[in-house]
Chain A
């Protein structure tokens, strides 16, 4: 890193810190809003925003000083972390574009280049950003390595093949056979473990650095700590009233996905957990008048998070849990720093998206019970087929066997053109009525 880069990074970092202090001061001084159906948002979110901004800021000047890898959201990044890689998550970047209402324009740029509107809107958003050079984070550092893990979908492999072609850098594939049965079979675990081991020399070569098993073990230990904390945070929503909404967890997901393995992430989630406990002690819920509790399935609708959360809260509805956010916590118990390759092979085979539709239904049934759920919203996400296919049967079973109202809500996680506001509102109204 040149001196100029270092100075710019230092100045940017200091500016972000000052921004956070100001935001926290404003937060502490703000007068209660009696008209809002929601209590003030979590104060820790301010810190999370600073962390994520700092990460994107670091990316702007990282080229040449640290190796850079672009990785999928379910990828085994601990090996790369141990090698000092700066990680870029195109899906997180796309979600950020979605939350800032930039996804439609970026998707259109990709569509103009020939990418079909039927493709995943994360991929379209990101490819559009790549082709147009437009991003709300200033710029993304080009990758020295691409790491693609198929444990969330096959889509990422098609997408990363496009990225590999664009950047001309190595693409490391960690292929994780889909688990149709109850758990991974030995040959599946062996396959993934061997790929993780084989990944080391490829990552070393692209980084020009040597891998250290101790470093890897330490990263795994911190990733486990953070994942354990994340799960604890989500489980706090079992309290009535729940101190957080699933929308809060969507928003605070960034560090566990992007910065897993960092000490700062552990510290952040410790403070978030403490804030929730403090809310619980004071009897403060995220929704002022929580009467109905809902489970959310699938990705969030990034461009509607705020309005949807408010609309539901106005009707006394708190979306307390989601299958999506649990994905980054529920595997913590499988992480074992003593046997990192074998354990990580198991971990990366078992995310909910790599498991059967029956397993997902079982997970939802369990969550209905554990979180005292009154109804389930299954976001039928037009451009995420792996998460969405199976939802029709899952909804039918939830209604028939579990006896909870369940709504299939048609939308798209990032592309607002696939969201019909009026139709969605009518369906949500009927759903709330059914729960009441």
Chain B
């Protein structure tokens, strides 16, 4: 069964422009959506895109740079982001550090290049810093937009984005009661990357209720499930993703905050994100959280699905394998390039892994 029509990325952009919003192109992956909205910007995320060749980006970044950074640079240089007034590059990793810096210093596109450094721990001092860092970003956005958000603007932005975040969390909670396969499920989850908050809530509401298809339960870990045909291959192998640890998925299930100040509220929520290697979570704590998630969802094993050259993910692989192995969960690891379809070797590895879990 498939879900009803959702606006496409370009339709969502056109609608945002029609509402008088400006477009902010945003690189992966933690950032304060409500902050952008409060300042009149509609965030549209850029995860590559996978179909864009590395050519132009490859003239600025070495071959050992991940696809997200190189393809996003190609896309920028080809004019793919020309409707955006702002390019926000969160400092997720060394590769995005390079992209943010090269874009600002050398590429100097027509968009304003903004950066955001997220602290790598959750200590009181990290919170204080993040609040100040978000205020700095807010000042920059206010400078570009020509004004600061009103209290009503803040209230609208927070309410809308928090409602959408709660909808995303509910999708995950209700996964077993959604009558859609993994591909459809993740298409809806990932539509949050470009839809307005209200559009996303609508899209989620349109997902048919019923019973989720059956299959050997897997937890899918990694950055982004591209190509999305991965889910078709998993289904063919008899597997189903019952939980995830994806940067483009459950790593962005932000907890609520009761702080009254909008920026403090955003900081609390970002700092409360689930365990994540890019945020410095100790590996044992991350493994324990993953094991808990797998137990709760009935997953039999974990598939780590990494973008090639992604250091934050690659470092944890051996210890995750060990800790989760000790907890009774086998782990398989594959690395992929984003362009094109999945290679035979990867498909065979995935099939073989699923077979061992059967």
Contacts and interface: CB of A to CB of B under 8 A. Distances in A.
Interface of A: 113-116, 118-120, 123, 150, 153-155, 157-159, 161-162, 164-165, 171, 173, 175, 177-178, 180, 185, 187-188, 190-191, 194-195, 198, 356-358, 361, 380, 382-383, 385-386, 388-393, 397
A165 B281 CA distance: 11
A41 B282 CA distance: 45
B349 interface: no
Contacts of B318: 113-115, 162
10 contacts: A114-B333, A115-B317, A116-B335, A161-B283, A177-B129, A178-B101, A385-B311, A386-B98, A389-B98, A389-B101
B98 A385 contact: yes
B315 A389 contact: no
B65 A389 contact: yes
Given A150-B120, A187-B133, 13 more contacts: A123-B315, A158-B277, A158-B311, A162-B319, A173-B121, A177-B129, A178-B91, A187-B129, A357-B98, A358-B101, A358-B105, A389-B97, A392-B62
Interface string B94-133: 1101111110111100000001010111010110110011
Given A177-B117, A356-B101, A389-B94, A187 B315 contact: no
Given A154-B312, A159-B315, A187-B136, A392 B59 contact: yes
Nearest to B135: A187
Contacts of B186: none
Contacts of B98: 357, 385-386, 389-390
Interface in B315-348: 315-319, 321, 333, 335
B321 A114 contact: yes
A386 B94 contact: yes
Given A177-B117, A187-B136, A116 B105 contact: no
Contacts of A356: 101, 104-105
B214 to A, nearest CB: 32
Which 6 A-B residue pairs are closest in the complex by CB-CB distance?
A389-B98, A358-B105, A114-B318, A187-B132, A158-B315, A191-B129
Contact of B314 (A116, A173, A397): A116
B315 A392 contact: no
B64 A382 contact: yes
Contacts of B314: 115-116, 118-119
Interface in B274-299: 277-278, 280, 282-284
B308 interface: yes
A384 to B, nearest CB: 9
B120 A361 contact: no
**In the complex, which of the residues B65, B309, B311 has the most CB atoms of chain A within 10 Å of its own CB atom?**
B311
B242 to A, nearest CB: 25
A380 B60 CA distance: 12
A162 B315 contact: yes
Contacts of B132: 187, 190-191
Contact of A175 (B95, B119, B283, B333): B119
Contacts of B93: 154
Interface string B57-100: 00111101100000000000000000000000001011101111
Interface residues of B, number: 52
Interface in B27-58: none
Contacts of A391: 62
A401 to B, nearest CB: 11
A387 to B, nearest CB: 9
Contacts of B333: 114
A396 B343 CA distance: 35
**In the complex, which of the residues B100, B280, B282, B321 has the most CB atoms of chain A within 10 Å of its own CB atom?**
B280
B120 A357 contact: no
Contacts of B61: 389, 392
Contact of A191 (B125, B316, B321): B125
B101 A390 contact: yes
Contacts of A198: 123, 125
A188 B65 CA distance: 28
A393 B105 CA distance: 9
Contacts of A173: 120-121, 280
Contacts of A185: 136
A389 B60 CA distance: 8
Nearest to A380: B62
A171 B95 CA distance: 24
Contacts of A153: 94
Contacts of A175: 119-121, 126, 280
A188 B119 CA distance: 11
Contacts of A357: 98, 101-102, 105-106
B311 A154 contact: yes
B282 A178 contact: no
Contacts of A194: 125, 128
A194 B312 CA distance: 26
A195 B107 CA distance: 34
Contacts of A119: 311, 314-315
Nearest to B89: A180
A323 B128 CA distance: 34
Contacts of B283: 161-162, 164-165
Contacts of A386: 94, 97-98
A158 B316 contact: yes
A385 B133 contact: no
B104 A385 contact: no
Nearest to A185: B136
Contacts of B126: 175, 191
B68 to A, nearest CB: 13
Contact of B315 (A161, A177, A383): A161
Contacts of B105: 356-358, 361, 390, 393
Contacts of B121: 173, 175
Nearest to A159: B315
Given A154-B93, A178-B117, A357-B105, A118 B64 contact: yes
A358 B106 contact: yes
Nearest to B315: A158
A155 B106 contact: no
A118 B315 CA distance: 10
B324 to A, nearest CB: 13
Nearest to A150: B120
Contacts of A116: 314, 317, 335
Contacts of B62: 380, 382, 388-389, 391-392
B59 A385 contact: no
Nearest to A187: B132
A385 B99 CA distance: 11
A114 B247 CA distance: 22
A161 B280 contact: yes
Nearest to B108: A358
A188 B94 CA distance: 18
Nearest to B314: A116
Contacts of B59: 392
